[in-house]
């Protein structure tokens, strides 16, 4: 059994980590931190965890975390930069759900996040935590950069096609929709019920921070430049992402259904649905699953891929735990073998 610390556990990804790790057979939660809520019982902030988590929040100091085997950062960008190095030097494994170690180029990170990269010396050690792409490297790393929610949905929808060199990589369109929990738990006008309810809007058309992350992953697989259009939208639901991906096949004689089924046959958390299916976000709610379907729009010359995930689980906390399982040699599905909640 390993001991776990969670830095920044007052947000949605933090409480999701607590929910999932509380029932993990190989984990003991040792420290849950919040600088502003130190001393407050976790269950007082999150009544859903009453009788499940019997801990108080503590300040995010190295002394509270250095005795852990692994520490999760469920924090805004910039926080892990300041704290991760000291923990790594103490032999603690770090699993970062923020964007701090996802981009390999510190100057590119600085451009998109509006501040200098705070820990460039650790970037070479960081492994991008998409198990379906980097499983063996994840097993060996001490610093795991958990992918963003949009990048997870988009990348899983495109990996089989890129591996097979089956599409025109200069023309990739990712049209993605997310529920409001993707914006985090902070109070803001754009997240009010009266603003989001009965509304549907595009945002960040001038560039979203997940665009360079997605492109980095796709170019790693493609072995060269990828022309990517990524447009996110906000929809009036709490959880879930649907990414609809449009690509141009290089050949029309490929059985794309079989290609996807073969590529993901042994993946425990990717479900390729039967031909003609349309996956729904409700079908993955609360789980670490990604469901994918493939379609050929009539007379378009394109292929459409539909990819759905729960942004808080496979898009964040569940994928972080999947990575932890690989890092510590636990069965990959430990703590994540969950049936979706419906309705």
Neighbour order of strands in the sheet with 70-73: 57-58, 27-33, 2-7, 70-73, 93-96, 143-145, 126-128
User: How many CB atoms lie under 10 A from the CB of residue 244?
Assistant: 18
DSSP string, 33-77: E-STTTTSBHHHH-GGGTTT---BEE---HHHHTTSSEEEE-S-T
At residue 55, what are phi and psi to the nearest 5 degrees? -135, 155
DSSP SS3 for 120 = helix
Catalytic residue positions?
149
> For residue 309, with 0-12 CB atoms within 10 Å meaning exposed, 13-18 middle and 19 or more buried, which class applies?
buried
List the beta bridge partners of residue 241: 178, 309
């Amino acid at each position: 059994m390993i001991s776990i610390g969670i830095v920044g556990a007052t947000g949605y990804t933090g409480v999701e980590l607590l929910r999932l790790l509380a029932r993990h057979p190989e984990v003991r939660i040792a420290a849950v931190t919040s600088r502003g809520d130190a001393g407050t019982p976790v269950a007082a902030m999150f009544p859903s965890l009453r009788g499940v988590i019997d801990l108080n929040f503590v300040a995010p100091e190295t002394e509270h975390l250095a005795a852990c085997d692994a520490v999760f950062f469920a924090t805004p960008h910039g926080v892990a930069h300041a704290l991760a190095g000291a923990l790594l030097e103490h032999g603690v494994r770090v699993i970062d759900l923020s964007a701090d170690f996802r981009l390999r180029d510190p100057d590119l990170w600085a451009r998109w996040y509006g501040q200098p990269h705070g820990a460039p010396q650790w970037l070479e050690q960081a492994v991008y935590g998409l198990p379906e792409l980097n499983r063996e490297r994840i097993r060996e790393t001490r610093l795991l950069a958990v992918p963003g929610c949009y990048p997870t949905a988009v990348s899983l929808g495109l990996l089989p096609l890129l591996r097979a060199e089956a599409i025109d990589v200069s023309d990739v369109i990712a049209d993605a929709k997310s529920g409001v929990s993707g914006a985090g738990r902070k109070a803001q006008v754009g997240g009010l019920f009266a603003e989001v309810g009965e509304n549907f809007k595009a945002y960040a058309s001038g560039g979203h921070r997940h665009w360079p992350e997605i492109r980095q992953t796709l170019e790693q697989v493609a072995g060269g430049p990828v022309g990517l259009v990524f447009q996110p939208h906000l929809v009036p639901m709490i959880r879930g992402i649907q990414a609809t991906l449009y690509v141009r096949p290089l050949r029309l004689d490929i059985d794309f259904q079989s290609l996807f089924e073969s590529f993901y046959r042994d993946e425990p958390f990717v479900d390729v649905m039967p031909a003609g299916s349309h996956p729904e976000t409700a079908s993955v709610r609360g789980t670490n699953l990604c469901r994918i379907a493939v379609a050929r729009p009539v007379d378009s010359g394109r292929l459409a891929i539909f990819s759905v995930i729960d942004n808080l689980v496979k898009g964040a906390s569940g994928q972080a735990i999947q990575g932890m399982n690989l890092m510590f040699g636990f069965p990959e599905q430990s703590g994540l073998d969950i049936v979706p909640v419906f309705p």
